[in-house]
Structure 1
Amino acid sequence: MECRPLSEPEVKTLCEKAKEILMEESNVQPVKSPVTICGDIHGQFHDLVELFRIGGKCPDTNYLFMGDYVDRGYYSVETVTLLVALKVRYPQRITILRGNHESRQITQVYGFYDECLRKYGSANVWKIFTDLFDYFPLTALVESEIFCLHGGLSPSIDNLDSVRSLDRVQEVPHEGPMCDLLWSDPDDRCGWGISPRGAGYTFGQEQKVVTIFSAPNYCYRCGNMASILEVDDCRNHTFIQFEPAPRRGEPDVTRRTPDYFL
């Protein structure tokens, strides 16, 4: 498969159309079942293609992606472009939430900014996409039963109306409820704790919590399998695990203990 990025004018037009759609979506976006729920992709474009091969093509399959489309992998531009294009073409069949990496600050450190400079010769495409990220919904609610988001809960949020009332059209703050939704993590504890990542909180799994990670062999060196979660009409769920797609030009990476997942 040839991976040729869209031209800068094409990216601008695509994101303008996507913005019109995303502006109409809620901070707690309702999603119908059946749906396939997916976690981090992190620029691993060929693994995203493998995910669609295993889970089914969009629009045949209804998808919910929970953020972190860019950074770390070598194909962040292609990854986010494909997902945004699918959103524009099939707005009722794919939901794309914001992750903590859909951020101007984080993408300048972990790869997306530099990738845009390398592939386009300027930061214009990076700015177009990061401006669009401000409009991505923060959370989703499958059939009014399954609450989905990139990070986790917040001690500042008591109910879904509190999430709905947030002004999401901004850069991800360093603290506060919006930050917590994108940065918090479940933990084996009772109650709240300070997150070791420096943003958000850890929280106890007093109710059922499922985490989903969809980037196999993360950073091309971790050796992990990936998973997606299929939820049927009756809210029964099935995990599907998959291996990474064959390597296609990614540089060799020395395997070592990775940085903590950001």
Structure 2
Amino acid sequence: MNIEVHKQKVKKFERPKLQKYESVASCTPADGEFLKTHQEYTPINLGKRTIDTHYNVETRLLQKNVLFNQDGSINLTLLKNHFQREGKLTVECATELISRAKTVLSNEPNLLVLQAPIYVCGDIHGQFYDLLTIFDITKNEDCSYVFMGDYVDRGDFGCEVLFYLLAQKLMNPKKFFLLRGNHESRMMTENMTFNIECEYKYSSVELLDQIHTLFDCFPLAALIEGNGLGRFLCTHGGISPQLQKLSQYNEINRFQEPPTSGAMCDLLWSDPLDQPHPESMDKRRLEAWLNTDFVDNTLRQTSVMYGLRGLLNFLNKNDLICLVRAHQVMEDGFKLHYFMQNIDLPPCITVFSAPNYCDAYQNKASVLKINTENICFEQFEYVDHPFNFPDFLDCFNYSLPTLMESIVTVLSELVVEVKEEEETDIKPEEKQADAELKAKIDLLKEKTEKEYKEKKQILDLKKEIKAMKTVNKDWFDKVLRIDKKNEMRPRSVSLGKVTSRPRNVRTVSDSHLFMPFEGQI
């Protein structure tokens, strides 16, 4: 069987150009005026992806009575155009959207049963402008959609991604399906970027709480039927040693923060064992690798890695042909995990739908189309998006650590020089005060350097990308190594609890035989 890969030529998206110049005030518009203005200033070449750079940011908040029509439907075109121009919703409007979505999502089972043809999408991670590309390249197809989680964090437009997908779900509840990813949790958004983004854009603790409870409503997996090759199982991370039958999926209590271990944790956090080069292993180690069912996921600091034996046992018991999952960035936007088997269709496929992940990886993205007879990938590249400083800082506050570092260095040198000149006149209590001052200066310097180092590292990578005419083939692996710690489960949360997975996972041999391979994150 040939698996087709369709490479979509998406022209560089910059920003919508308006037909007229519009002066926008931050006041509340009169009823009807907001909708009228949006219709009048709709981008003139919407859908062409080649768009001029000039546009004016939408500063007015989109109100509930404008987004929702009288019959309860949602104006999706209005919402998309509003978000394209960096607009925001009122808290009341966002809350209503979330409330309606929770009602629909909470009535769905943990395991959805869906029919081909269907598009399967991987991680989006706050890349709203790339999400629009997915709809552009699939808009002429009469297919359903299933997204496998990780809508927020890492990218700067997690709110826009989440709200737009919720609106799509409400308008197409039987054709649009949203699964939970490991980033749809309180712990991950607290330790990553989404909570900061939500506070910056909406300044509402109540809204953030509503979003967190919404996360608990997302289903955990989807069974795709209607394909001539067999049945596909879609979930964010993978399978669990605690779940042998698909019927067990609906026994999980998903309406909670994901536990640090167990079945629900594994569905969101597990990974397939990466395939080593056969020549790098002796016969004994190679046989042990092929006979692996589950081992501890040391790279994630939680959950498991599943090997060929564990995966095939699960697929065979449940009459499945393939596991489709997301959770890992891939250079080509997808990966076929054959586990060294000479077969047409791999037992596991990874789909990743966030191109140029974190504005640094330079990876392609893809979505998987499961037809009634075969499967194929739609591959696409990233588009431009508005720039934000890390953590949504303004220019002054972002520069402050660098400024403080320079000031601290100058002060430290001044103190040393002055004291050297007056060494003979210094009293013991003054020496003690000087030592305390120096310690404070050193502590402040260390703190500012630590805060600035990680942010500067990513920006330096972006500058390096722009300076290169072509991206080196080793670039992806370089960024992967730098970013590896961000793919781990945080070991602490705001409550001060330390979490780690107990080492009680079933293996077929000693765990030292299964050290992680380079490239697994």
**Above 0.5 in TM-score?**
yes
Contact 1:63–1:94 (CA under 8 A) maintained in structure 2 = yes
Structure 1 residue 60 displacement after superposition: 4.3
SS of the aligned residue for 1:258 comes to helix
Q: Which has the higher helix share?
A: 2
Work out which of the residue numbers 282, 292, 296 in structure 2 matches 1:194. Answer: 296
**1:25 matched residue in structure 2:** 108
**1:12-63: CA deviations, max 9, x gaps?**
1111111111122111111111000000000011110111111227x94311
**Is 1:84 the counterpart of 2:162 in the alignment?**
no
**2:147 matched residue in structure 1:** 65
Q: Tell me how far apart the structure 2 counterparts of residues 119 and 250 of structure 1 sit (CA, whole Å).
A: 12
**1:238 matched residue in structure 2:** 376
Range 141-150 or range 63-72, more displaced: 141-150
Work out which of the residue numbers 253, 261, 275 in structure 2 matches 1:175. Answer: 261
Work out which of the residue numbers 13, 19, 35 in structure 1 matches 2:96. Answer: 13
**1:259 matched residue in structure 2:** 484
Mind listing any 5+ residue stretches in structure 1 that lack a counterpart?
A: none
Percent of paired sites with the same residue? 39
Compute the TM-score of the two structures, normalised by the length of structure 1. 0.94
**Is 1:227 the counterpart of 2:329 in the alignment?**
no
SS of the aligned residue for 1:202 comes to strand
SS of the aligned residue for 1:31 comes to strand
**Is 1:45 the counterpart of 2:128 in the alignment?**
yes
**2:350 matched residue in structure 1:** 211
Q: Tell me how far apart the structure 1 counterparts of residues 352 and 459 of structure 2 sit (CA, whole Å).
A: 20
**1:56 matched residue in structure 2:** 139
SS of the aligned residue for 1:210 comes to strand
Structure 1 residue 11 displacement after superposition: 1.3
Compute the TM-score of the two structures, normalised by the length of structure 2. 0.48
The within-5 A match list for 1:20-169 is 20-56=103-139, 60-143=142-225, 145-169=231-255
| Alignment-mate amino acid for residue 188 of structure 2 | I
Q: Describe the shift of the 1:254–1:123 C-alpha distance in structure 2 as closer, same or farther (beyond 3 A).
A: farther
**2:270 matched residue in structure 1:** 184
Mind listing any 5+ residue stretches in structure 2 that lack a counterpart?
A: 1-83, 275-288, 313-346, 390-457, 462-478, 489-521
SS of the aligned residue for 2:112 comes to strand
Higher RCO (CA < 8 A, seq sep 6+): 1
Contact 2:101–2:169 (CA under 8 A) maintained in structure 1 = yes
Q: Tell me how far apart the structure 2 counterparts of residues 123 and 253 of structure 1 sit (CA, whole Å).
A: 30
Aligned residues: 260
Contact 2:355–2:382 (CA under 8 A) maintained in structure 1 = yes
**1:213-248: CA deviations, max 9, x gaps?**
0000000101100011001122x1001111001233
Q: Tell me how far apart the structure 2 counterparts of residues 141 and 2 of structure 1 sit (CA, whole Å).
A: 37
Q: Tell me how far apart the structure 1 counterparts of residues 174 and 88 of structure 2 sit (CA, whole Å).
A: 25
**1:63-86: CA deviations, max 9, x gaps?**
110000000000000010101111
| Alignment-mate amino acid for residue 175 of structure 1 | S
Structure 1 residue 250 displacement after superposition: 4.5
| Alignment-mate amino acid for residue 33 of structure 1 | A
Structure 1 residue 254 displacement after superposition: 2.9
Q: Tell me how far apart the structure 2 counterparts of residues 61 and 4 of structure 1 sit (CA, whole Å).
A: 29
| Alignment-mate amino acid for residue 183 of structure 1 | W
Q: Which has the higher strand share?
A: 1
Q: Which has the larger radius of gyration?
A: 2
Range 63-72 or range 3-12, more displaced: 3-12
